[in-house]
Amino acid sequence: MTPTPAGRLLRTEAGRDLVLTRHFRAPTADVWASVTESDRTARWFGPWEGEAGPGRTIKVQMSFEEEKPWFEMRVDACEPPRRLAVSTIDEAGSWFLDVVLTERSDGTELVFTQHLDPEADVSGVGPGWEYYLDNLVAAELGAPLPSFDDYYPSMKSYYEELAENL
């Protein structure tokens, strides 16, 4: 079954933001642990190592990518258990990511934002984050992780259309 893309593309003063939302029937503290604790991030994205904290740099592994690359990521903001902002700059470009958690009566809402570089190809980035965030949902539920093949290239046209209509 092919997942339905749910990302939004918003124009900002600095350019464009890719925004994706997920809901969890779990307390905010539990979802926070899944996005900040290395053993928990390993289940849906990859582990990280180093001494984390605002202004510090950690090393993160993308365990679900073909080469399982490690890269440096700067912690720009960490406001437990509500907000985590991180960034990285490498040969693939600049990545400025922001995760905000909000407690709801039925669980926790996660809003993920990538502040996109002007040259960023949202048709490749969008399906990737849909996949990783659905990995996070599956990890929280203890369910099998999805296959990236269900996300790309099937979601590519959705994100191309978002970019064209912005």
Confidence of residue 46 (pLDDT cuts 50, 70, 90): very high
94 pLDDT band, cuts 50/70/90, is confident
Q: Which option is the CATH number for 8-164: 3.40.50.980, 3.30.530.20, 3.30.390.50, 3.40.50.1980?
A: 3.30.530.20
- The closest of 77, 75, 83 to 56, measured between CA atoms, is 75
List, in order, residues 6 or more apart from 37 with CB less than 8 Å away: none
Q: What is the pTM of this model?
A: 0.95
Confirm if 71 and 62 have CB atoms less than 8 A apart: yes
In sequence order, what DSSP letters do the residues of 75-108 get, joined into one string?
A: EEEEETTTEEEEEEEETTEEEEEEEEEEEETTEE
The phi and psi torsions of 140 (rounded to 5 degrees) equal -65, -35
pLDDT tens by residue, 58-70: 999 999 999 999 9
